[in-house]
């Protein structure tokens, strides 16, 4: 039976700071989460190590925008433990078809080797998940995403929870109240994920970039 959870309900939940997760890929049930401590990645505070900067400068991968959304979700779910069940995957594919969910893909030749996806609302981007099949592929995708969000007018990058991986890149935690205050302001921002194409490597390596 199809869940009563619709794209409209999902969008409204994200607007108030709540998001769904499953306990596992085979569990059909979804649970709502509203963390006391919220993970964010400051758009002007991404930390790129020297080795990662060299990696980006060398441009070992080809990156695309919204070219393989379903494959990115499948890649993110292809792990031993995941909160992405069939319903979440189907809902986000529908959200993508409606223009609300987006992905950045990382390619090595014709092979998809990494990516990241999430939901865009006003000036907030709610990062959902990322995956990597080559060294640094997900980090490169995240660096391009942060640069792209800055260029397109976004003011808040919500990572939901803070992992060690995100912390190493400059992610931090803020209180639920602080997150909701930032969310309210970000929802009013004049941002558009499709305003520009993906930036180039040099733009990604700049601490702050703007296009006129």
Question: What confidence score (pLDDT) does residue 149 get?
Answer: 97
Mean pLDDT of residues grouped by 10 in the chain (212 residues)?
76 97 88 96 92 95 97 95 93 96 98 98 97 96 96 97 93 97 97 94 75 36
What is the C-alpha separation between 199 and 191, in angstroms, rounded?
Answer: 16
What sign has the CA pseudo-torsion 181, 185, 186, 188?
positive
- Token pair in block for residue 157: 């990058």
150 within some domain: yes
- From residue 28, alpha-carbon distances to 60, 75, 88, 101, 170 in Å are 39, 19, 9, 22, 34
Q: CATH number of the domain at 167, please.
A: 3.40.630.70
In 3D space, the residue among 81, 159, 92 whose CA is nearest the CA of residue 124 turns out to be 159
Q: Domain range spanning residue 161?
A: 37-79+101-205
Question: What confidence score (pLDDT) does residue 26 get?
Answer: 84
Question: What confidence score (pLDDT) does residue 207 get?
Answer: 66
Residue 33: strand pairing partners:
19
50 within some domain: yes
The C-alpha angle with vertex 198 and arms to 108 and 45, in degrees rounded to 5, equals 100
To 10 degrees, what angle do helices 7-15 and 86-97 make?
90
DSSP assigned state of 178: H
Question: What confidence score (pLDDT) does residue 78 get?
Answer: 94
153 within some domain: yes
pTM for the model stands at 0.92
Q: What is the domain count for the chain?
A: 1
């Amino acid at each position: 039976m199809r869940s009563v959870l619709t794209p409209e309900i999902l969008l409204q939940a994200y607007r108030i700071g709540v998001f769904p997760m499953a306990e596992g890929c085979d569990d059909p049930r979804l649970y709502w989460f509203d963390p006391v401590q919220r993970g964010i990645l400051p758009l002007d505070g991404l930390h790129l190590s020297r080795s990662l900067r060299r990696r980006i400068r060398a441009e070992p991968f080809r990156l695309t925008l919204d070219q393989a959304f379903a494959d990115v979700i499948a890649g993110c779910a292809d792990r031993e433990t995941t909160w992405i069940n069939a319903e979440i995957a189907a809902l986000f594919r529908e959200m993508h078809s409606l223009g609300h969910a987006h992905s950045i893909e990382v390619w090595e030749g014709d092979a998809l080797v990494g990516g990241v996806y999430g939901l865009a609302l006003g000036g907030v981007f709610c990062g959902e998940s990322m995956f990597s099949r080559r060294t640094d592929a997900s980090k490169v995708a995240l660096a391009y995403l942060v640069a792209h969000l800055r260029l397109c007018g976004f003011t808040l990058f919500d990572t939901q929870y803070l992992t060690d991986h995100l912390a190493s890149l400059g992610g931090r935690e803020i209180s639920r109240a602080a997150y909701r205050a930032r969310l309210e302001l970000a929802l009013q921002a004049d941002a558009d994920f499709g305003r520009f194409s993906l930036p180039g490597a040099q733009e990604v390596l700049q601490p702050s970039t703007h296009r006129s």
